[in-house]
Amino acid sequence: MDKLIRRIGLIFNNTSLIQGALAHRSYAHEHPDRAHGLADSERLEFLGDSIVNFIAADLLYRHFPNRPEGQLTKLRASLIKTGSLAGFAREIDLGSYILMGKGERNTGTHTRNPLLADTFEALVAAIYLDQGLDAARAFVTPFFESQIAQIQDDSNIDADDYKSQLLTVVQGRFGVTPSYRIAAESGPEHRREFTAEVYRGEQRIGSGSGLSKQLAEQEAAREALALLAEH
């Protein structure tokens, strides 16, 4: 844990917060004596989700003063989706520091996107509670900035409407309308993730995930467009 603290460049006043953020529930089950007194990781995750949402919204509001609410909502969803947060966690090798029960670690759970994203949010909450909002913002902002820079380079946000593009392509090439199905839902209530599949007739031509059904369908359409472009 000390190595992680040095890596993120913070000195915690209350180390039980960062220890709690890193403690998976399987660790508490196997080591109740060590977990006693630590902050609850799931409560921290709940708080961290809102803080990450706020920081993303604030950055986008300032970076894109002329874009309407609907576009900002779509951009924020891209920044805070599970895959993005898990990627941020991997940048600081967060999975190596997660405290887990031996059996759970042997399954490789600490390398999977959902847990990495949840732990990243819990870490943000721990920083916020210990150091305040400015420190949490300073920690999170660099992860978002490279993605925001890419968004700024995209002069036409409507290019992200992959469903409309796919509709045009599929109707033009095959004379049918693509259909969408929600194949799965996962994650806690405050951050549900949906997996959508898109079909041409009965043939599945793409799939994707997102924090809403609409975003999942857009990701599925994007994959389908990429696959159709190869053939």
Q: What are phi and psi of 179, to 5 degrees?
A: -120, 155
Instruction: Classify 78 in phi/psi space as left (phi over 0), alpha (psi -120 to 50) or beta.
Output: alpha
Of 121, 130, 217, 219, catalytic = 121
Name the burial class of residue 56, with classes exposed (0-12), middle (13-18) and buried (19+) by CB atoms within 10 angstroms of its CB.
Answer: buried
Name the 3-class secondary structure at 1.
coil
- Whether residue 121 lies in the annotated active site: yes
Of 49, 104, 193, 197, catalytic = 49
- d(CA 230, CA 27) in angstroms, rounded, equals 46
| DSSP letter assigned to residue 212 | S
Task: Tokens for 106, please give them.
Answer: 């042997």
Cβ neighbours around 31 below 10 Å, total: 13
Degrees to nearest 5, angle at CA 14 with 83 and 55:
35
- Whether residue 49 lies in the annotated active site: yes
Residues that are catalytic: 49, 121
